[in-house]
Amino acid sequence: MRFLSIYTPDQKAGASPPSQEDMAQMEALIEESMKSGLLLETGAILPLSTGGAVVRRTGNEITVVDGPFAESKEVIAGYAVLEANSVAEAIEGVKRFLRVPGDGETEIRQIMEGSVTCAPKTGSP
C-alpha cells in the first residue's frame, strides 16, 4: 500500500532553519528509508507566501487566486510517498521522521491503488 505523508511544522515553535547536524540526520534517514523500500519519494514544499495559486470550483464557476499570499495559517513543509504493508507500518516510519525536524505533525493518507479514470459528466464544462 502507498501512503502520502504531509509534514506541517509547529508554527508556535518558531521556525528556524535546520542545523547542519539536522540536515545530515535527515539525509541519512532518507537514504536508509529509500534503501529499505519504505520511502518512494520525498520533497519540500514552499509556502504560499512565495507564490503559487489557489484554484477553486463552486458550481460551474472556477476562480483562481494568484499568490504570493501575505499570510498563511498553515505551512506545509514537505511530503513523502511511502510504501508500507499497513497504516501501522507507515506510522512507525513517520515517527522516525518526526524525531529529526522537531515539533510538528504529519498527516498520513492512503493512496488509492489501481487505475482510476475520470470521465466528465455529459453536459458538464
Q: Which helix (H) or strand (E) holds 98?
A: helix 87-98
Render the burial of 99-124: b for 16+ CB within 10 Å, e for the rest.
ebbeebebebeeeeeeeeeeeeeeee
Q: Tell me if 41 is assigned to some domain.
A: yes
Lowest mean pLDDT across 33-37, 87-91, 116-120: 116-120
Q: pLDDT tens digits for 52-107?
A: 788 889 999 999 888 766 555 556 788 999 999 999 999 999 999 988 887 888 99
The identity of residue 92, as a single letter, is E
Is pLDDT of 124 > 60?
no
> What per-residue confidence (pLDDT) applies to 9?
82
Q: What is the CATH number of the domain that holds 33?
A: 3.30.70.1060
User: Of how many residues is the chain composed?
Assistant: 125
Q: Tell me if 119 is assigned to some domain.
A: no
What span, in angstroms and rounded, lies between the C-alpha atoms of 105 and 111? 19
Predicted TM-score (pTM) of the model is 0.74
Q: Is the dihedral angle over the CA atoms 82, 84, 86, 88 positive or is it negative?
A: negative
What span, in angstroms and rounded, lies between the C-alpha atoms of 95 and 40? 17
> What per-residue confidence (pLDDT) applies to 114?
78
Q: Tell me if 63 is assigned to some domain.
A: no
Q: Tell me if 60 is assigned to some domain.
A: no
